[in-house]
Chain A
Amino acid sequence: MTATLPTPRQANPGRPGAGLTVAIFATCIADTMKPSVPRATVEVLERLGCTVEFPREQTCCGQIMTNTGYFDQAVGSVRNYVRAFGDYDYIVGPSGSCVGSVRHQHEMIADHAGDAGLARAAGSAASHTYDLSEFLIDVLGVEDVGAWFPHTVTYHPTCHSMRIAKVGDRPLRLLRAVGGLKLVDLPEAEQCCGFGGTFSLKNPDMSIAMASDKAHNAVSTGAEYLVAGDHACLMNIGGILHRQRTGIRTIHLAEILASTAKEA
């Protein structure tokens, strides 16, 4: 599906989000395990002038069920997503994978359930759903969000952000505009980190082999932080980096964009 991309708003460069109401899609994993990621997302959006709302009914994109083959069990998530977000023009999540699943799989799951009304509603909600990097660049028309992060970082383009949500180089453009930040290339950047949802449990040995190589490549850059737009992938790579006491930390793109000179 193609997201409808409104004309970038450049009338008010300081507060390009002024007048826009945005629903934050926190994602179940970050809501529960890493609240600093959706909090940082809220902070960036509000700094840019958006009015952020948190629809409490939200849960999960359903991907864990869908991608393990449990289509029936994913229907509740799709229905719930539509219920939580159906009225919003802008739904923004800090995850290429969850956003990608909403856009690429929700209609399929609704069709599987034989619910044409749900499929229509899911398609509509999906067309209003953005990864944070897409929303900032395509809707707000900003690359420099006023962030300050004086560290050396390397960027891992997560598979689903790159190939399902298709965020392209937007995260890199945002990172290059961050004050004080030094960006170094990650070798084999486009190779999967081996997370793959339940793949990491069903094929643990392969998953570890892939994650170890990703961690090794991250170490080879000499960066202080490995940054990505998906917390689940960061948990995978970061888990190895921490176990091996490499000293490299993982950080979500939203967390870097939320950092300002005032805090540093």
Chain B
Amino acid sequence: MGEPIPQIAHRAISNEVAITVADLDVTYRTTIEKRPTLKQAIVRLGRGKRSVRTVEALKDVSFEVNRGTVLGIIGHNGAGKSTLMRTVAGIVPPTRGKVEVVGRTSTLLSLGVGFNRQLTGRENVILGGLAAGLTKDELEDRYERIAEFADIGDFIEMPMRSYSSGMAARLAFSVAVHLDPDILLIDEALSTGDAVFKEKATERMQELVNNSSTMLLISHALRTIINMSTDCIWLDHGKLMMRGNPEEVVDAYTEYMHVKKTSAVFNDM
């Protein structure tokens, strides 16, 4: 066994609803290429191929989440987990159905590590906060705490292109948890950073849970899901397969996926 697995103690969950997802379909068109170019478009046209493909990311998904819940989301790659997060965050609109969210959300998705590498860490923090809807004064108040928590020293005043991936991840995590979110969306974000930072991150998440924040957590590390969440949903090809106690859902999922419960799968976070 490797590092200790983060664990969160849970308070009683409120009966107030924080997130309502009703009959949600999300369908989007995307290109096959990573970088669509005119040349490829012309080549495809010549061969009579279609450039876009329709992805039915979520199909008829409905569930409610009460305030104070830590909801684990599991499923295979491409099951629709990240799309669900983005829909709850308001980044991708529903194609059908409705999503209602009470409170401020803060997202920490796997790719969300600094956005402009030419700018300093500090500038990225301020810009990220402003885009998320905080005022300049609110950010001035929080900036010191964010910098202190990220603990990257003088690097905070340097362009982010000079950061290691671990440093960028720490800063991103620090920003997300210091926006005082009512709802925190975390997508595999704990997979970077060293053991010390992981511990610190878990502590901070515990604080948020104590303050009745709601959390949505995506992880392929099933042990993390069991240890940290109070509730769990399992998505398969965009459909909601099961919802319930994390241990039971994880069991059903692993059985379905014919995955042996090896420690490698469980601890790989």
A binds B: no
Measured CB to CB, the residues of A under 8 A from B are none
Measured CB to CB, the residues of B under 8 A from A are none
